[in-house]
Structure 1
Amino acid sequence: MAIRLGLGLPQMKQYDIGRDVPAVARAAEETGYESLWVFERVLFPEPATQGLYGVPGLPWPETYRSVAEPLVTLTLAAASTGRARLGTSVLVAPLHIPFQLARSLATLDAASGGRVVAGLGTGWSHDEYAAAAVAPFEKRGKVLDELLDVCAAVWGPDPVSYEGELTTVAPSEVGPKPARPIPVYLPANSPRASRRLVDRADGWMPTAQGADRFTEEWTRLKELAAERGRSRPIEVCVRVNARYTAKPYEGAERPLFTGSAAQIAEDLAAHRVDGIGEFLLDLQAPLRDASELVDVAAEVYGLARAAGV
């Protein structure tokens, strides 16, 4: 069975959001991509109080200087397509009021005919937390737990009621409801996060770091699921942050998913491991415009499928 392929939508500064998101979404669906994805960055601090991913001294990429709001971007894509799933990879949960985010996701799912996939995380940027978070960085896990609770309540039957640290919902009718249960994908980057995923989520969304690394993490996650009595399968969507180059990369040690369309497709084929159901391919960062994104995405798709992905 072929692995599903998804594409990251254009959200960065070089793109015209209103024009390019619908155009890329339509083209990707016509090419065969089965899902369309967005990510979240809310600001670009100068100077940053911490490095990228919290790594001291690691600079933020210039492409993060302007990133379109994810749910607005997905809404543009939803209105321009009819089949592709619409995913977030990821929404930084503590940057959102739980009740409002639950309602937004439900409305988008209802409007799109049941196509939303909610990838949620806790983020890492202290600058983003200072600007937009509903609770301090130290409480990020608790906020994600409450968001999951609120989503389950809001997406479930009326009357909805909930009382938590951030949210109180008196018994109420809350609609519209999702067209179907919205799948929730979570990270597994710590023991607590892994337990939360096994106990509460539908799927896992790791970032591609090589087949061996994936296999190790996947084995640990399956063992944890067995220990905690999970019977239903864990869906797996691997995020691939690709760096396309017009000419093949010729260095001695080529970084994973860096190079020509053929080299990226080759890496996808090498990364195909039992358990992976989907690759999310984000190509947008180094490309100059939507036309190039459409062309490169189509080329990579064709070569990946020819390579057996």
Structure 2
Amino acid sequence: MAIRLGLSLPQMKQFDIGRDIPAVARAAEDIGYESVWVFERVLFPTPMRQGLAGIEGLPWPDGYRSVAEPLVSLTLAAAATERVRLGTSVLVAPLHIPFELARALATLDRASGGRVVAGLGTGWAHDEYAAQGVAPFARRGKVLDELLDVCAAAWGPDPVAYEGELTQIVPSEVGPKPVRPIPVFLPAFSPRAMRRLVQRADGWMPIATGVPQLTAAWRQVQDLAAEEGRERPLEVTVRINARLQDKPYEGEGRDPFQGSVDQLVEDLAAHAQAVPGTYFFDLQSSARDGEELKDRAAAVYEAVAASGI
């Protein structure tokens, strides 16, 4: 298999998280997936006052009514596995106290033998910021910048010292340290976010919404990286929010990664040819329980392997 393939872990309300998260993580490793991933949602407003991703009138998925905390979920996965990378896609960084999150990620990386990948974003849900954010929604970019600074300081050599708007660290020993510098990925789309990406991150973490869109965005990122004089290549890790169904989708208007296993593989081949990198499937919304999710993950992996992508 030419690409690296990952799988999202079962965090939604239909799963028995204590049983299914470690079981699916272990199965993913046994099947051959290279990485496992978690996402973050902290609440489900009732009634909804804001559409999904800020799009007016677009309802939130029912599975968002209960989403397991991402770092606890990754800890369960880490304890059940030995090799798979442990990724976040994404942590809504401004919902976390920067120093606390830096220490949690470092501890998990140390405990797992250096397997953590930190995907960090700014989010879109105003109600989540009102409930948990460390600063108003309007300051989300500044909070992410400070969090990146704090992580770099806390993960670096002692003594650690930092002076920011939210965080003050007197010269201190801070441990445990990560096994290696934890890769930081950002899902940048706006010009400001793309500049932060090429200046500060190890990789780019978009969502697969179609080959033309992905290709155009990747070209923008590459052009900006050249403009900024970035020499180190950016890694690419693409989230696939799949809508897997038992029968092929027929008719016009099929969205990317909607349909049968074979249709998902066709879409993956087209995306991976345009933008090589790691691709990971989120299949949990179409699975009723952990056993069905494991079966679907195995079917997708086997089909991708057979395709020779």
TM range (shorter): over 0.9
- In structure 1, the residue matched to 2:184 is 184
CA displacement, residues 158-197 of structure 1 (integer Å, 9 cap, x when unaligned):
0000010000000000000000110000022101100000
CA-CA distance at 1:48 after TM superposition: 1.9
CA-CA distance at 1:52 after TM superposition: 0.7
| Aligned CA distance change for structure 1 residues 254 and 275 (closer, same or farther; 3 Å) | closer
Letter in 1 for 2:248: P
Letter in 2 for 1:254: R
Letter in 1 for 2:267: D
- In structure 2, the residue matched to 1:197 is 197
Letter in 2 for 1:132: Q
After superposition, residues 80-99 of structure 1 pair within 5 angstroms as 80-99=80-99
- In structure 1, the residue matched to 2:254 is 254
1:174 and 2:166 matched = no
> Could you say what secondary structure the match of 1:87 adopts?
strand
CA-CA distance at 1:276 after TM superposition: 2.3
> Could you say what secondary structure the match of 1:89 adopts?
strand
| Separation in structure 2 between the aligned mates of residue 218 and residue 270 of structure 1, nearest angstrom | 15
| Separation in structure 1 between the aligned mates of residue 13 and residue 275 of structure 2, nearest angstrom | 35
- In structure 1, the residue matched to 2:298 is 298
Letter in 2 for 1:164: G
- In structure 2, the residue matched to 1:206 is 206
| Separation in structure 2 between the aligned mates of residue 153 and residue 31 of structure 1, nearest angstrom | 37
| Separation in structure 2 between the aligned mates of residue 157 and residue 275 of structure 1, nearest angstrom | 36
Q: Comparing 234-243 with 261-270, which one deviates more in the overlay?
A: 261-270
TM-score, length of structure 2 as denominator length: 0.98
> Could you say what secondary structure the match of 1:30 adopts?
helix
Contact 1:211 1:273 in 2 (8 A): no
Letter in 1 for 2:194: S
| Separation in structure 1 between the aligned mates of residue 190 and residue 198 of structure 2, nearest angstrom | 12
| Separation in structure 1 between the aligned mates of residue 93 and residue 74 of structure 2, nearest angstrom | 17
> Could you say what secondary structure the match of 1:48 adopts?
coil
| Separation in structure 2 between the aligned mates of residue 47 and residue 283 of structure 1, nearest angstrom | 27
Letter in 1 for 2:31: T
Contact 2:215 2:275 in 1 (8 A): no
CA displacement, residues 212-260 of structure 1 (integer Å, 9 cap, x when unaligned):
2111111111110011010000000010000111222223222210111
After superposition, residues 147-296 of structure 1 pair within 5 angstroms as 147-296=147-296
After superposition, residues 115-126 of structure 1 pair within 5 angstroms as 115-126=115-126
Segments of 4+ in structure 1 off by > 2 A? 273-276
CA displacement, residues 124-182 of structure 1 (integer Å, 9 cap, x when unaligned):
00010010000000000000000000000000000000010000000000000000110
Residue segments in structure 2 that go unaligned for 5+ positions in a row: none
Q: Comparing 244-253 with 128-137, which one deviates more in the overlay?
A: 244-253
Letter in 2 for 1:47: P
TM-score, length of structure 1 as denominator length: 0.98
CA-CA distance at 1:273 after TM superposition: 2.8
| Separation in structure 2 between the aligned mates of residue 215 and residue 258 of structure 1, nearest angstrom | 19
| Separation in structure 2 between the aligned mates of residue 161 and residue 253 of structure 1, nearest angstrom | 54
After superposition, residues 98-113 of structure 1 pair within 5 angstroms as 98-113=98-113
> Could you say what secondary structure the match of 1:88 adopts?
strand
CA displacement, residues 69-124 of structure 1 (integer Å, 9 cap, x when unaligned):
00000000000000000000000011000000000000000000000000000000
1:50 and 2:55 matched = no
Percent of residue pairs identical: 71
